Amino acid sequence: MIMHWYDPRPWIGRRKRVRRIFHLKESCNPEEVCRDLYRFGGRPVRVLHHLGMVIGEFVHDAEAIGLLEGHPYVQHWEPDLRVTITEPYAKKVSDSSTPRLPWGVRQVEANRVWSMTRGKAVKVAVIDTGIDYDHPAVKDNYRGGVNILSSMLSPYDYNGHGTHVAGTIAGRAVETGLVGVAPRAYIYAVKAFNRRGTANLSDLLSAINWCIENKMQVVNMSFGMEKMSESLRWAIQKAYRRGIIMVAAVGNKGIYGKVDFPARYPETIAITATDKRGQIASFSNYSQEVDVAAPGEMIPSSWINGGVREISGTSMAVPHVVGTVALLLYLRPDLTPEQIRRILTASAVPVTGLRVGRVNAYRSVQLLTHARI
């Protein structure tokens, strides 16, 4: 649950507010910090109990610094950074000749295991721009969610990115070919990005807190940031310890030797993208932190207003892996994040020139059912 705090005093004018993230020491009382925020001229915006953090807002940054000097409950703090979804490299509206199955779903051979598992009822959170939950491809698997940006509103998608991701994970519109890797998984929209595809770090932390609170099993993170964040790292570690599998995009700048956060954290499963030839996509980042590759070039999937669109990017590769994880968790809900990682990497199809292989749902399920894991 995300707790919202309101200052009974009128906020000062319309001056720009500054947010800061306060990471609290273990076993401290967040209410004490919230009272001190008022005392130092700020106000608490959210208390993230599962993460041990308080989000505070100030008119002047100096007030936040004043709070921190010698405060007995604050372990460290950091500014509220801006984060973007991993911007698609190319996109276009699909024509009417959508195949029976999207090429990425066919390439990972998900359909070969649907007689055994379709990921039924596995809880998948999509931290993104929301989801068009009325779309024919996703409406049957949509199970709700939260709008982190405005708790009184639904997590509807006005951008398209989150809807596209959701369709690749769990689309089930067979008649139009919009079928996902795990077409019976339950999809939850965790809207942390606005219609322009940007978010505050504090919103992402709130999104992860919600995923822990609501016992999500898999989290799709098709976003990235270049700067290291201690708060985000702490949140990822907290979710990891709860057994949540977190899959993240490595970025779309075509850089070798560097990937975005949170994919760079060891607790996440880091995904690079491959093209239709099965080789690493020209736009995809790559480094030693990458765990597995997945199809990411011109992926057809659902779009807002009931549409269909093809998009390229590591954002599109991540849901292929998330769907594969859902297929595995249906068969073995007790699998840990590290067991999932080992299955995915051990069953991957080799990719020319890469240390890692491309995800293969059929081989992953075969490995799970025939090996002692």
- Domain boundary among the residues 50, 80, 110 is at 80
From residue 370, how far is each of 110, 225, 232, 242, 330 by CA, in Å? Answer: 17, 39, 37, 27, 16
Please count the structural domains in the chain: 2
Same domain, 187 and 208: yes
Clarify whether residues 145 and 159 are in a common domain: yes
Q: Which of 47, 80, 113 finishes a domain?
A: 80
292 plus 192 within the same structural domain = yes
b/e for 329-341, b at 16 or more Cβ within 10 A? bbeeeebebeebb
Q: Which domain holds residue 148?
A: 84-370
261 secondary structure, DSSP code: B
- Active-site residue, selected from the candidate residues 23, 71, 135, 161: 161
Q: Is the pLDDT of residue 99 over 90?
A: no
> What is the CB neighbour count within 10 angstroms for residue 39?
11
Is the model's pLDDT at 15 over the cut of 60? no
CATH, residue 272: 3.40.50.200
Q: Which of 64, 80, 96 is the last residue of a domain?
A: 80
Active site residue 315: yes
Classify strands 269-274 and 292-295 as parallel, antiparallel or unpaired. Answer: parallel
Average pLDDT over residues 121-132: 98
Confidence of residue 8 (pLDDT cuts 50, 70, 90): very low
Residue from 128, 157, 203, 291 carrying the catalytic annotation: 128
Are residues 259 and 177 part of one domain?
yes
Quickly list DSSP for 145-210.
Answer: EEESS-TTS----SSSHHHHHHHHHH-EEGGGTEE-SSTT-EEEEEE-S-TTSEEEHHHHHHHHHH
Whose tokens are 């790292």? That residue is 233
306 and 225 in a common domain: yes
Residues 140 and 22 occupy one common structural domain = no
- C-alpha span between 68 and 274 (Å, rounded): 46
Closest of 310, 278, 279, 275 to residue 296, by C-alpha:
275
- Do 39 and 152 belong together in one domain? no
Same domain, residue pair 232 and 268: yes
DSSP one-letter code for 253: S
pLDDT tier, 2 (very low <50, low <70, confident <90, very high otherwise): very low
pLDDT confidence tier of residue 373, bands split at 50, 70 and 90: low
Q: Which residue has the tokens 């570690």?
A: 237
Q: Are residues 61 and 196 in the same domain?
A: no
Shared-domain flag, residues 66 and 89: no
Whole-prediction pTM: 0.92
Model confidence over 298-347: pLDDT tens digits? 999 999 999 999 999 999 999 999 999 999 999 999 999 999 999 999 99
Amino acid 87: pLDDT: 66
Is residue 68 scored above 90 in pLDDT?
no
* 257 and 238 part of one domain: yes
Q: Could you tell me the CATH number of the domain that includes residue 37?
A: 3.30.70.80
- Catalytic: which of 315, 320, 347, 364? 315
Q: Are residues 214 and 357 in the same domain?
A: yes
**Phi, psi for residue 247 in degrees, rounded to 5:** -115, 130
